[in-house]
Structure 1
Amino acid sequence: MRPAADAPLAVFDIDGTLVDSRAAILEAAVTAARTVGLAEPGYEAVRQIVGLSLHEALRQLAPELTDAELAEFVAAYQGAFRSMHERPGFEEPLYAGAMDLLDRLSRDGWRLSLATGQSRRGVERNLARAGWADLFLSSHCAEDGPGKPDPAMLVCAMDVCGGAPERTVMIGDTSHDMRMALNAGVRPQGVAWGFHTADEVLASGAVHVAEDFPGLEQALHAFAAGRRAA
């Protein structure tokens, strides 16, 4: 279905929102730290940085590093991630219910876009998933310009997709997503199954945090109809 002129725009984060990448991101961070001689980070530290651009995320994880040392850490992380994806049968799974929701929103005439802290390589890898290339009108990542919580990705998504701020909703699992939404003047819709807790997402400005995909779908349709989410 071709979106109507006033169709709402739903911009989705990827990691922790559509894709369950918790194990992969932690493994890449631990492997990279080990490679460059840093103490291995725990999940609690790693989960806080997901959603930021890779350089900013790893800088926050190891603020004591010089620029040259940080570049080595980034390269080690990227190498670890590439090695994981080269393993036979390796997959970062979609959360159960994610694809069904995306398909229904598309059939209902929503505009769909992606805004993520992933690299462009990571975005293209995800767009190669069955059906994804036909679902999303645009995709935006940290390599395109300023990363979260800067509003640049959302501003670009609205420009490309023809969305207005009052008809645009950002769906994400982290405080970085919610702050980006607020900075862009769009609706900040949280989810509770990713890297940040529901309380953390609410504290960062989410107007609602969905506990599951049916709850998210209900909140999105309420938004489209101009109603407050339950």
Structure 2
Amino acid sequence: MTQLKLAIWDMDGTIVDSREVIQAAMCRAFGVCGLPEPAYEETRKIVGLGLEEACRILAPDYHDPAGLSTAYKEAFVARRTEENFVEPLYDGAEETLKRLAEDGWLIAMATGKSHRGIRAIFEMHPLEQYFDTIWCADDGPGKPHPFMVEQCMNALGCEPHQSLIIGDAIHDIAMGRNAGIHTMGVSWGFGRADELHAAGAHEVHDTFASLNAGLLGFEQKISSI
């Protein structure tokens, strides 16, 4: 019997290089709310969390985290609708998704983006075809809660030993560990390699070539079970 294999992907910082737009939108939101702009070094650490939780962490003394969250959403949409705006894919991302689909992998998404944010990416890049199920911040508990990973597995009939997560943030690694699956960190997004290792990632990859080798190794491992 063919062994099922499931790759669960984060979006921001893993597939899409959203570093510039997220930092710009956060700075604009803080300005609207009369707060000093956060440094990128602080912003990068909250990417992947639910938006209100992220705002509470970045501005712990601010009286209206929901208002700050709304200001961020508005700033993000404003930035995204500017002429010639694009959130670029990382080189190798679409090629890897295509190869996994052709090799019979099930592919899922577990992201802190909203459904609207995911739709905007799909309108920009032809990626929707690769995903068998998608779960996001709108659907239930956010990272590092295992909810999204569990829903991905349930939707596609996969067990933890057949599943892995690919993400650039410690919150992705924590979510995967909490769900009992294999965790692959990537260092080209918001999280540094040393942080991903410290968070308990089973593997950390610096390039898509390395990630692809890791995916092949996982496939060979579960095929032998």
TM-score bracket, normalised by the shorter chain, equals over 0.9
Q: Deviations over 1:180-201 (max 9, x none)?
A: 0000011011001110100000
**Distance in structure 1 (CA, Å) of the matches to 2:2 and 2:33:** 51
Counterpart of 1:18?
Answer: 15
Structure 2, gaps ≥5 residues long: none
Deviation at 1:173, TM superposition (A): 0.5
**Distance in structure 1 (CA, Å) of the matches to 2:128 and 2:184:** 23
Deviates more, 1:4-13 or 1:35-44: 4-13
Secondary structure of 2:183 counterpart = strand
1:143 aligns with 2:141: no
Q: Does the 8 Å contact 1:115/1:154 carry over to 2? A: yes
Q: Quick one: which amino acid aligns to residue 37 of structure 1? A: G
Deviates more, 1:25-34 or 1:83-92: 83-92
Distance 1:156 1:20, change over 3 A: same
1:96 aligns with 2:99: no
* Runs of 4+ more than 4 Å apart: none
Q: Does the 8 Å contact 1:170/1:187 carry over to 2? A: yes
**Distance in structure 2 (CA, Å) of the matches to 1:204 and 1:37:** 34
Secondary structure of 1:144 counterpart = coil
Deviation at 1:177, TM superposition (A): 0.3
**Distance in structure 2 (CA, Å) of the matches to 1:15 and 1:92:** 10
Aligned length: 222
Q: Does the 8 Å contact 1:123/1:139 carry over to 2? A: no
TM-score (norm: length of structure 1) = 0.94
Counterpart of 1:156?
Answer: 151
Match of 2:49 among 27, 49, 52: 52
Q: Quick one: which amino acid aligns to residue 36 of structure 2? A: A
Structure 1, gaps ≥5 residues long: none
| 1:100-179 matches, cutoff 5 A | 100-179=95-174
Q: Does the 8 Å contact 2:16/2:89 carry over to 1? A: yes
Deviation at 1:148, TM superposition (A): 0.2
**Distance in structure 2 (CA, Å) of the matches to 1:207 and 1:153:** 19
Q: Does the 8 Å contact 2:86/2:124 carry over to 1? A: no
| 1:6-85 matches, cutoff 5 A | 6-66=3-63, 69-85=64-80
**Distance in structure 1 (CA, Å) of the matches to 2:43 and 2:19:** 9
**Distance in structure 2 (CA, Å) of the matches to 1:152 and 1:43:** 28
Counterpart of 2:220?
Answer: 225
Q: Quick one: which amino acid aligns to residue 175 of structure 2? A: M
Q: Quick one: which amino acid aligns to residue 28 of structure 2? A: T
Deviation at 1:6, TM superposition (A): 2.3
Deviation at 1:127, TM superposition (A): 2.9
Deviation at 1:46, TM superposition (A): 0.2
Q: Deviations over 1:107-163 (max 9, x none)?
A: 001000100111111112223344322110011111100000000000000011221
Q: Quick one: which amino acid aligns to residue 134 of structure 1? A: Q
Match of 1:205 among 200, 214, 222: 200
**Cα RMSD after superposing both structures:** 1.2
Q: Does the 8 Å contact 1:7/1:111 carry over to 2? A: yes
Q: Quick one: which amino acid aligns to residue 78 of structure 2? A: S
